[in-house]
Every structure is written in C-alpha cells, then in structure tokens.
Structure 1
Amino acid sequence: MSEKERRHEIDLDQIKLALQKRERRFLRPLIDELHPYDVGQIFFQLTGVYRSHFLGMLNAEEIAELLQEMETEEQQEILANLSLEKTSRVLNRMSSDDAADLFGEMEESNVQTLLKSMERDEADKVRALLHYPEDTAGGKMTLEYVSVYDTYTVEEVIQYLRREAPTAETVYYVYVIDADDRLVGVVSLRELLIAQPDTPITEIMFERIIAVPVDMDQEEVATMMERYDFLAIPVVDDEKRLLGIITVDDVIDVLIEEAQEDIAKLSAVSQTEMDILTHPFASARRRIPWLLLLLLIGMGTASILSAFEATIDKVAALAFFMPMIAGMTGNTGTQSLALVIRGLASGQITRDRYWQILRQEGVVGVIIGVVCSLLIIGIVTLLMGNPYLGLVVGGSMLLTLIVGTLAGTVIPLILHLLKVDPTVASGPLITTLNDVFSLLIYFGFATLFIQYLI
C-alpha cells in the first residue's frame, strides 16, 4: 500500500471515529476545506449509519452543492438518507436546472410530493423547466441569472449585482432587457468594472447578441458555445424574451453525454448499456435487436457462398483468402465511417462539402486498393504458384477496398441528409454490409475467370 493510500485510510478511520463521537470540531474544518465532489467521495466510502451521521454534519447549502456534483443515482441515494423536511430545504438551495434534472429521473408521485414541500418561488422555477424536453435548450437552461433593464446606469447595475450575485449561477455576464423583457444587450463583468459609474448601460452593452431558441437541440447549443467560447449563452423565445441561460458546465455534460451516445450507437449497443455494470438480461435485451438485424444481413453472406459453391469446389484455394478480403473491406469502411462521423459532429463536413469528402475518400480508396492489391498479387503468386489466382485476389481486393471506403462514407452522409443520426450506421452494420459486398465481388471475379484458375 502506498503512503498516500495509507494516509487516506487513516483519514477515513478518523472520520468514522469522529462520527461515532459526534465530534463536529474535527469534521467541520475538514468539510469546509473540501470541494463538494470530495465530500461526496467520503460519503460513498462510508457505510450504514455512518452515512446518516455524516449528512447530519452538513447543512442544507452544503448538501445542495454536494448533489450538484453527483450523478442521478448518487443523488437519489443521498436523498434517501434525508428526512422530507431537510430534503425540501436542500432542494430550495439547489439551482433550478439541477433540481429539474433530478426530478426528471424520479417517479411523478415523488416529484409532486417534493414540489409541494418546496418554497413556492423555487417550486415554480422547477415546474417551468420540467415543461421543456430535457434534450433542448429549455431543458438545460437555468433561471438563476442576472438581468437588468436598459434604463440602468453602471452604478445601479453594480449595486443590483451585489444583491443578486449570491443566488446567480454565473455573474460573468449581465443581460440587458427592455420593458417587455426582450433581450437587447449583454455586458461582461469586465466592462462594468472599467466603466464610469454614471454611464448608461446601453452605452457599453454589446447589442449583437448570440442567443439560442428555447427548442434548440442540446447538441446544437453545445456547438454554438464551442464556436463562440462563451461561459454562458442566453435562451430566448420566439419574441426574443429572455427565458434563461445555459452555462458552460452544463454544456460539458452535454458533450460527454452526446459522445457516450455516439460511441454506444457506433458499437451497436444502447445508450444505457454504456453503464458497464447492468443486469445481464437487460443488457442482452438491448443487444439482441441489433444482433438479429446483423444476423439477417449476414445470411446474405451465407447465400452468396451457397451461390458460388461450384466455384469454390473447383478452386478450393479461393476459400483461403475469403477472410482477408472481407476483413480488409470492413476495416477500410470503418475507418471512413469514423472520419465522416467526426467531421459531421465537429461541423467540418457540411452539405456543400459532401462531394468533396466523397472525392477525397474515393481517391483514398483507390490508393489503398492499388497498394494492397499489388502487394497481395505478389504474395499469392509466390505462395500458390498461380499468377492468375493472384490477379483475381488482387483485383477483387482493389474493388472491394474502393467499395468499402465509399460505403463507409456514403451511408452516414445519406443519413445526415435525411436528418437521421448518422451514428446509427454503426461499425458492426458497415462491416456486415461490406462482408456481403466483398464476397460478392470476390467470387464474382473468380467465377468470371474460372477457366484461368483451374
């Protein structure tokens, strides 16, 4: 055991001892110095009654901060150790968007019970956010922001900011609205600090505002914030009224969530299965539909082999190179698929660049095909002593690599054009389809030139 781990174990034992003796004098300085995430790690290393005692040492504000650093399952586990009265106090101190995210994963009856126990203003904020789909800008925004009217001076804004800052999610931007609550400008904290106190806010605010509609998809919001390097972005309705803001920490969560979702689709498993430890039957149930689809497509491979049985009987050596042809085609298709998916996700591939990426990957397929086919022609000729067999295998590989590369490029582009998530063109699907294409080309070539192979 390392010295660091030994100190960590001793500290945990001391925490348990302090909890047994109810020694707040030992625990309070420790809790005050730790980040909420680290406090959460201590909580989950404790067991049984120690957890309840530990939460008893935390006030509602600290538990609220702790919950905001946890995943949904961990949040619910912490709430299970609290009374309803303390739970309501904790929820009143959570930011509205985090509370809405938590409620979105709970049973409706429990949600209504907790909403009734909360302060009316806080409950109304959460209800307003629950109205929006969770994967939209409205579902990700928070209502804790600072906005001022366009009649304010810099001094009035700073005074107002001092009052509102403790409850705001971020104070780096102050949003300026008119009498109808329409967003007319934004000013940074830096601009406020360097401006003269009697300056009207309209003179220093930035009027070319980048805002997102309330129904915009969360992935598009993340792209916008990445493009402009914002710490927060305002959310507006159809009439440009300010509804809330989305902060960069929520966008990071979106990027992680979308990346996990894309990886899941590319692997032909469901999003929930990216949680490694799941029930075996639940995991199998989610995989079976995809595997059955791939199985049906794979039956095409068996049909091809059956159709070319006579060719294989005449030249048994053809079977030696069948796995290589299929494998190489699947590999090059998967490479192109990964490149296109990445380009679409990053915005580098747009509709006006479809033909450019098709030409690029087509040329890449030709180059790869020529290099690999020349190499395999030489190897097969030397090993089998039959140059015609080498030409058939090499010629087949040239065509299959070109087809595989184009298939891995065209399929996600078509899906994107049809407004279907291109990640559904998963690696296993592309590989299975390319198996069918490659074997059809390979044995078609062999049958066409069978007289030279016998």
Structure 2
Amino acid sequence: MTTAETEINERPWEELARSIETGDAAIVKAYLDTLPATDQSLALDRLSDENKQAVLAILDPEDAADLVSLLPDVQAIELMEDLLPETAALIIDELPSNLKADLIGEMEQEDATAILNEMEPQAAADCLRLSKYEDDEAGGLMVTELLKYPVVWTGAQVISDLGDHADEYRDYDVQYAYLVDDDDRLVGVLRMRDLLLSKRGTPLAENMISNPLSVFDTTSIEDLIDLFDRHHFFGVPVVTQEHRLIGVVHRASVEEARAEQHDSDFLKTQGIVGGEEIRSMPLLVRSRRRLAWLSVNIVLNMVAASVIAVYQDTLSSVIALAVFLPIISDMSGCSGNQAVAVSLRELSLGLVRETEWRRVWLKEVSVGIINGIALGLLIALVSYVWKGNAYLGFVVGLALCLNTMVAVSIGGLVPLVLKRFKVDPAIAAGPILTTVTDMCGFFLVLSIASALLDKLQ
C-alpha cells in the first residue's frame, strides 16, 4: 500500500469530500462501498454541514437511508432536520419502521410535521402512530415489515404472493410468516421451511404453529429481555390488547436497546445529561448539558468543604490528616459507586422493588462491614509505618471503616428512593453519594482526631 493510500484510509472524509465535489452519485456510492461501516459513519461525521447534506441529496434514497442507519440517532436527526423536507421524506421512507419512528418521534415538532407532510398519507400515519410508543417497550422496538397472510390461504397463494412482491420483501425477515383471522388477530406462525416442503394446495392452517407466543405492544424492555433469555427466538410477534398483529420485535433490536440503555445510564452517571452527546454537536449545546451537572456539583462540594472549615484548627494541628482526607473520601466513594451500580442493575432487571430498602441495606452493610474493616486496617498500617503513631492509624482506619459502611448503605438505598419518587437514579445518585461520603468522611476523620488531639500531636 502506498503512502497516499494509507493517508486516504486514515482520513476517509477527505476522499469522500472530493467525490462529493464531482456531483456524481455513482462515484460517491463507489467510494462509500470501499469503506467498512465504521469508516462510513466516521467519514460522514467529519464532513462539513454542507457536504453532509450534499452526500445525502446526491445518493439514491435507499443508499442514503443505508448511510443514515449507521449513524447515532442524535446525528441522524440533525441531518434530517437540515435537509429539505421532500428529500428527508424520501430517505426516511426507506428506513426500517422502528428507526423511522424513532427519528420522527425525537425531531422538533415543526421539522417532523414538514417531513410527514411530504410522505404518503398512510405511511405518515403509520410512522406517527409508531412514534407514540416509548423507546423501552415492544411497540417502540418492533418493525412492521413482516409477512402476514390470512389463515384460510393455501401454500400456493403464499408462494405466488412472494414472487409478486419479491422486491418489497427482500429486506424483510422471511424465516416466518404470521397468520391472522378476518379480524387481523394472530392465530398462528408458519415456518418458511414447512411452507416450501408442503404441497402447494395445502391450507396454511395444517402446517402452522398454533397459539404462538406473542407480546403486547406495551410490554417493557425488561420483560422482553427476560423472554429472549428464556427462549431462543429470533423474533416475537407483537399484538394489541385485542390481539391484533401489528409487528415483530427482534432479539437483535432488544439487545441493541439494552446496550443503548446501559450506555445512556453510564453517560448520566458521568454528568452527560439531556441525551446522547457526540462532539460534532453544536458547542453551546454540549457546554450547556455538561454545566447542568457541574454547577450542581460545585454547590454540593462547597457543602462538603464546609466541614473542613469547622475543624480547621484540628487540621492545622495535625497536618498529616490532610494527606488522608482525599484517600478516605475517594475509597468510600468507590465503595458507594459499586453499590449504586448493583442497585441500578437490579432495578433495570426487575430483581428488586423500590420498597425493599431493608433487604438492600442489610445486604450492602454486610459487605461494607467486611470491606470497611479490611480497608481500615490497611490504611491504619500505612499511616503507622509512615508516622509511627498508632493513634493516627486508629483515627484514619476507623474513619475509613465507618465511612465505607455509610457509603455502601447510601449507594444501595438512594437509587431505590429516587426511583420511587420518579427521579432518574442514574442522574441523581452520583452527586448525592459524592456529597454525603465526602461530608461523612471529613467529619469522621476530623471529629475523631479532635477527640484524640493530645495523642496525635
């Protein structure tokens, strides 16, 4: 590989920009086809806003839709909103129904309406209906592209339909067909293998799987995860409360949603609030979202620092304590964050209820006692070896032991309390834990040291 080729591969957006300048869709498509999916999304991300719009306008709607589907939702939405409504409508119409609904549902109302007005009335109505579902329920994860036939049909009729609509069905999951009655209610599932190996005139009802497992459109993602953990299905039909078939939710969609949920929770715990953030977003938007967290944290940290101010005489008399304050605060915070993580995980899986605070506390404080004693003895030994003062070791060791128990208790319980009061525990648990463990840690060290001040000097 030449140096020039290596440079192009490392900076694919530059070559993509040059291909866009030709105005030839074939050249743009040919270059994109040489790139793996990750490099396609990288190249599009690094283009100027004008070139981003240009590449989607140049490509055929189907190819543009393939490119958009590789992008994070937040970036795809931004691109669709910047395009002309008629161009955006053509691209969105080529997307899978679940992604189509997600983008429309998260757009600004004015942009979404303009795009929907450019779509076919029935397609726009279907998209709008799906966009009303929450992202973490079956209706929001399902696709409506499926093979659905009247149960009274024969195999020959299905084979004929497959041939007549081959282009439309090419992107469908065609491992199964779903059979419905006159009221569109699900009555059976037909494996394509059984269809192809049966006589053409055989009624579908003779080869179908009767009373198939299905989920309601309001089924939560936690229940979907549990279902797919228990059954090795590629997908499950989705029905309304009247058992009318409206879509299929695939295992891959549930796993992707679970991963996105975990990513979102992680971002929230790190102070990225207000949704997903990528660095191509407007500078002021990114700054505002981060400041929403940081401004609260600075106030909470000032509260914790006030404890030190109260005991500043003790601290100035035994300056060695200043070395151990951040250690005790940090170690207790780490223990508390472990407890927060377990509570968030159990809440997401439905393994604990918000009212089970006693059980959670007993489980956590048991771990806190053991780990607190172990960590307290370790830091006491270190302080004794350093200063040769057993009382100093006793002060910092006891403070770390007690603060560890406090931290895991708070870390385990706060998510349950916040969840019960309809506050997102992923956002609020961190600041509360940090502030309380800092305050308690500083207070324990300095108050115990004040009581033994004559032994420490």
For residue 237 of structure 2, give the secondary structure of its aligned residue in structure 1: strand
Letter in structure 1 aligned against 2:175: Y
Mapping 1:115-264, distance limit 5 Å:
115-133=116-134, 136-164=137-165, 166-168=167-169, 169-195=172-198, 197=200, 199-217=202-220, 221=224, 224-225=227-228, 228-264=231-267
Letter in structure 1 aligned against 2:388: G
For residue 239 of structure 1, give the secondary structure of its aligned residue in structure 2: coil
Separation (CA, whole Å) in 2 of partners of 1:109 and 1:173:
39
Aligned to 2:290: 287
Separation (CA, whole Å) in 2 of partners of 1:348 and 1:193:
44
Letter in structure 2 aligned against 1:176: L
Separation (CA, whole Å) in 1 of partners of 2:339 and 2:104:
41
Letter in structure 2 aligned against 1:186: V
Aligned to 2:383: 380
Is there any run of 5+ residues in structure 2 with no aligned partner, and where? none
Q: Is contact 2:353–2:416 with CA below 8 Å preserved after alignment?
A: no
TM-score (norm 1): 0.79
Separation (CA, whole Å) in 2 of partners of 1:376 and 1:110:
59
For residue 274 of structure 1, give the secondary structure of its aligned residue in structure 2: coil
Deviation of 1:238 after TM superposition, in Å, equals 1.9
Deviations 1:338-370 (A, max 9, x none): 333334435555679876664443333222222
Separation (CA, whole Å) in 2 of partners of 1:397 and 1:407:
15
Letter in structure 1 aligned against 2:130: L
Deviation of 1:402 after TM superposition, in Å, equals 1.9
Q: Structure 1 residue aligned with 2:348, among 345, 350, 358?
A: 345
Q: Is contact 1:125–1:143 with CA below 8 Å preserved after alignment?
A: no
Deviations 1:305-326 (A, max 9, x none): 2333454455444334222222
Letter in structure 2 aligned against 1:342: R
Letter in structure 1 aligned against 2:330: G
Separation (CA, whole Å) in 2 of partners of 1:108 and 1:409:
39
Separation (CA, whole Å) in 2 of partners of 1:427 and 1:41:
32
Aligned to 1:412: 415
Deviation of 1:260 after TM superposition, in Å, equals 2.6
Deviations 1:38-96 (A, max 9, x none): 77777778889988997687544433444434445357647967793x66554544444
Letter in structure 1 aligned against 2:413: V
Separation (CA, whole Å) in 2 of partners of 1:49 and 1:267:
33
Separation (CA, whole Å) in 1 of partners of 2:351 and 2:399:
33
Separation (CA, whole Å) in 1 of partners of 2:288 and 2:54:
40
Q: Is contact 1:148–1:157 with CA below 8 Å preserved after alignment?
A: yes
Q: Which moved more, 1:130-139 or 1:435-444?
A: 130-139
Separation (CA, whole Å) in 1 of partners of 2:314 and 2:15:
74
Separation (CA, whole Å) in 2 of partners of 1:27 and 1:302:
58
Q: Is contact 1:260–1:274 with CA below 8 Å preserved after alignment?
A: no
Residues 354, 3 of structure 1: alpha-carbon distance in 2 compared, 3 angstrom cutoff: farther
Deviation of 1:266 after TM superposition, in Å, equals 0.8
Separation (CA, whole Å) in 2 of partners of 1:278 and 1:259:
21
Deviations 1:258-293 (A, max 9, x none): 223101211122144632344444333323343343
Residues 335, 200 of structure 1: alpha-carbon distance in 2 compared, 3 angstrom cutoff: same
Q: Structure 1 residue aligned with 2:366, among 363, 375, 394?
A: 363
Letter in structure 2 aligned against 1:100: A
Q: Is contact 1:231–1:248 with CA below 8 Å preserved after alignment?
A: yes
Q: Structure 1 residue aligned with 2:272, among 269, 273, 280?
A: 269
Deviation of 1:181 after TM superposition, in Å, equals 1.7
Residues 45, 278 of structure 1: alpha-carbon distance in 2 compared, 3 angstrom cutoff: closer
Residues 355, 183 of structure 1: alpha-carbon distance in 2 compared, 3 angstrom cutoff: farther
Residues 355, 39 of structure 1: alpha-carbon distance in 2 compared, 3 angstrom cutoff: same
Aligned length: 452
Aligned to 1:103: 104
The Cα RMSD (Å) is 4.3
Residues 35, 95 of structure 1: alpha-carbon distance in 2 compared, 3 angstrom cutoff: farther
Identity %: 28
Separation (CA, whole Å) in 2 of partners of 1:52 and 1:443:
61
Aligned to 1:400: 403
Deviation of 1:296 after TM superposition, in Å, equals 3.4
Separation (CA, whole Å) in 2 of partners of 1:381 and 1:46:
59
Residues 340, 281 of structure 1: alpha-carbon distance in 2 compared, 3 angstrom cutoff: same
Q: Which moved more, 1:429-438 or 1:71-80?
A: 71-80
Deviation of 1:187 after TM superposition, in Å, equals 3.3
Separation (CA, whole Å) in 2 of partners of 1:349 and 1:203:
44
Separation (CA, whole Å) in 2 of partners of 1:400 and 1:94:
53
Letter in structure 2 aligned against 1:297: L
Separation (CA, whole Å) in 2 of partners of 1:394 and 1:51:
58
Aligned to 1:299: 302
Letter in structure 2 aligned against 1:172: Q
Separation (CA, whole Å) in 1 of partners of 2:205 and 2:181:
11
